[in-house]
A and B are shown apart, each in its own frame.
Chain A
Amino acid sequence: MARTLINLPKTAKAGAVIEIKTLISHPMETGYRPGPEGRLVPRDIITEFVCRFEGEEVFRAELFPATSANPYLTFTTLAERSGTFTFTWTGDNGFSQTESAALTVT
């Protein structure tokens, strides 16, 4: 399991726009870099990140080797009701990780 950091406000007023910051530790090996033996290190990247709110997709990003190691993404969403966000990263070599965070709307 890769380490993740997810930063979003615990509470928000209804109708407010909240910013969500996410980071996951991952080497994002591009496949263009020579390894210690001179051969290219095979590609190993995260290809997709999805943020869902109560099962409904609110944000999706397709990532490419041009994304830095430890992909960091910030985006915004509208706080309408209390619920749980789930964050899913999927990538090469069967990589898949899901985290969740709760939001209380007042």
Chain B
Amino acid sequence: MRGPMSWTPDRRRLLVGGAALIVLTPQRALAVARPPREPTAAAIRRFAGEAEIRPGRVHLDLPPLVENGNAVPLAVSVDSPMSATDFVRRIAVFNDKNPQPNVITVHLGPKAGRAAITTRIRLADTQTVTAIAELSDGSYWSATADAIVTLAACVEG
């Protein structure tokens, strides 16, 4: 039998609780999907129209910490058999905080063999980059990646 005081938070419980709070906080922050800003949302609508954009099938590879925003390696690939009837038609990449929302748009076809491209882009600020792929059946798939930029592009002369 424990006494009536057994429920009072002791040192151990406080420590465990505090640690759990620290572990949980950043995960909750990440789980909140920030909607893209107005120009980016408009650019995505210009690309995809009113079609539903589902997350998945697209892999966006961007370094999480960018030293120089003037040349950031970017790789996008899409899970697709790239056959004559099932292929990726277009891939577009959008950013959230550059002066212009578009980064690059590529047009592929069944002859591409693989839906995978790489390039180097500019990032003006710490921000979220979104890649959206249009498949031959008219469906749209997306992926996002966050990048922390220490030296921003465009700002310095």
Contact = CB atoms under 8 A, between A and B. Distances in A.
Given A64-B100, A76-B113, A69 B119 contact: no
Nearest to B91: A61
Interface residues of B, number: 30
Interface stretch (B48-56, B102-110, B142-150): B102-110
Given A67-B119, A69-B70, A76 B112 contact: yes
Nearest to A79: B113
B78 to A, nearest CB: 12
Nearest to A71: B119
A34 B157 contact: yes
Which one of A57, A63, A76 has the greatest number of beta carbons of chain B within 10 Å?
A: A76
Interface size class of A (residues with CB under 8 A): 20 to 34
B105 A62 contact: yes
Nearest to B156: A33
Contacts of B118: 72-74
B106 A60 contact: yes
Interface of A: 17-18, 30, 32-36, 53, 57-69, 71-78, 80
Interface of B: 70-72, 95, 98-100, 102-109, 111-114, 116-123, 153-154, 157
20 contacts: A59-B107, A61-B104, A61-B105, A62-B105, A62-B106, A63-B104, A64-B102, A66-B95, A66-B103, A66-B122, A67-B104, A67-B119, A67-B120, A68-B120, A73-B118, A73-B119, A75-B116, A77-B111, A77-B112, A78-B113
